[in-house]
Amino acid sequence: MKRFDEILHQGYSQSFEVTDVLFHEKTEHQDLVIFETPTFGRVMALDNIVQVTTKDEYVYHEMLAHVPLLAHGNAPEVLIIGGGDGGILREVLRHRKVERATMVEIDGSVVDLCRKHLPEISDGAFDDPRTDLIITDGVKFVAETDKRFDVIIVDSTDPVGPGEVLFTESFYADCKRCLTPGGVLVTQNGVPFFQAQEVTNTYQRMGKSFADTGFYTAVVPTYVGGFMTLGWGTDDETLRDVDIEVLRVRFEISSLKTRYYTPDVHRAAFALPQFILDLMTD
């Protein structure tokens, strides 16, 4: 393999120069490849769709973890659905108030291979005593568990293949059931320039369960198409509008070292371009 071509969006693709293929095999759930590139470092792709690179992973992982945790302010119990590379787990555990991070991943091979070939992404998080790693279907877990969580983070693939069930009305309702009062659900929600229907579908489906539903944004270079939307659901409408000074104090107390997230970026991420607002229809 000299090049890897990702054809996720109709009529558009991106191509990576490949200097070495570290692993390529079809697991029980999906086709998984990890390869080396001169531009983005090591890259993992599932079913021919890029999931993570060592060069820009920090943008996605910091924004999906720190925004809900710092908005909430006191989240000792965190649930992560997906996220087999360990990047979300790493960022969640950097919050000292987190007492336990329960991570539910459907494909144990993803965890094992990322620990072997992409160890810098998890950075030891799987060995943290606060980590509770469960290899099972996330949909089944939230439907059946009697545990309750302050923040739920859904680090999923796009709504095709194994990830499709993580974008349903019933899944969001089960997540709501698992949240403590005032808890927050955040989700990976695609690139609206190319995946507009995902925004509309999520807004409508999540809105059936939460009083405050919306999105915030980040720009991840390898998730091509401009802004990426991250879904937001909670019954506490004040959490999307936490005062900047409060966020700065929480950020300072947490002693977080970040490369993308700042309290100012946090606030600004909720200011959506008009074309995204137009997709938020009931």
Where would I find the beta strands (DSSP E) of 75-158? 77-82, 100-105, 131-135, 149-155
Q: How far apart are CA 50 and CA 105, in angstroms?
A: 18
- State the helix-helix crossing angle for 57-72 and 244-254, rounded to 10 degrees: 110
Q: How far apart are CA 247 and CA 239, in angstroms?
A: 11
Active site residue 155: yes
Q: Which of 85, 155, 158, 174 is catalytic?
A: 155
How far apart, in Å, are the Cα atoms of 245 and each of 74, 206, 251, 255, 258?
16, 29, 10, 15, 18
Burial class (CB in 10 A: 0-12, 13-18, 19+), 61: buried
**Residues assigned a catalytic role:** 155
